[in-house]
């Protein structure tokens, strides 16, 4: 069974019903599937290959949901990072798992330079937030808007 099977089924049966709601933002199953496919394409564009590790350091959100499914869609392994860990613990988990791409929300963006110093395996960092991406990081919304959807799913 594919991990994205429930997403595909929801798109077939209830494409215009809400999939996620975060504050004022509501995404339908069809919109969510499009973003997942674009995120998967984005990951591939950053060099992520099947069985590579991609991680997220973020509070629960619709982006968390989409990124988790996109990792599976791209054939990568999803690595959730505990938001309560110290920087050294976060870096150890990323280095130990061989994670090359990390998505952080803007709350955790200030930790990235320390994480990168302790976990040089992290080659790409994507930040989800309202302001511009800090130096050395990609802004999620800009990348998703330009990404080509990845066909198929994992």
For the cut 90, the answer to whether the pLDDT of residue 92 exceeds it is yes
Query: Residue 11 domain-assigned?
Result: yes
Query: Residue 153 domain-assigned?
Result: no
Query: Residue 21 domain-assigned?
Result: yes
Structural domain for 123, as ranges: 5-146
Query: Residue 151 domain-assigned?
Result: no
129: domain CATH number is: 3.40.50.980
Query: Residue 16 domain-assigned?
Result: yes
For the stretch 40-70, pLDDT in tens is: 999 999 999 999 999 999 999 999 999 999 9
Helices (H), 16-61: 29-45
Q: What is the per-residue DSSP string for 9-74?
A: HHHHH-TTSEEEEETTEEEEHHHHHHHHHHHHHHHHHTT--TT-EEEEE--SSHHHHHHHHHHHHT
In this predicted structure, what is the pLDDT of residue 1? Answer: 41
Query: Residue 154 domain-assigned?
Result: no
For the stretch 98-123, pLDDT in tens is: 999 999 999 999 999 999 999 999 99
In this predicted structure, what is the pLDDT of residue 68? Answer: 95
Overall number of domains in the chain: 1
Query: Residue 18 domain-assigned?
Result: yes
pTM, full prediction: 0.90
């Amino acid at each position: 069974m594919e991990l994205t099977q429930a997403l595909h089924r929801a798109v077939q049966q209830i494409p215009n019903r809400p999939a996620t709601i975060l504050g004022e933002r509501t995404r339908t199953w069809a919109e969510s599937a499009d973003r997942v496919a674009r995120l998967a394409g984005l990951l591939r564009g950053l060099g992520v290959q099947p069985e590579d590790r991609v991680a997220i350091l973020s509070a629960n959100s619709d982006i968390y949901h989409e990124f988790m499914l996109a990792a599976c869609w791209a054939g990568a392994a999803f690595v959730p990072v505990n938001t309560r860990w110290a920087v050294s613990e976060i870096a150890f988990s990323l280095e130990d798992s061989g994670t090359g791409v990390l998505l952080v929300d803007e709350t955790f963006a200030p930790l990235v330079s320390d994480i990168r110093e302790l976990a040089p395996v992290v080659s790409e960092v994507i930040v989800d937030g309202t302001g511009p991406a800090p130096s050395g990081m990609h802004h999620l919304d800009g990348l998703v808007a330009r990404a080509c959807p990845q066909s198929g799913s994992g």
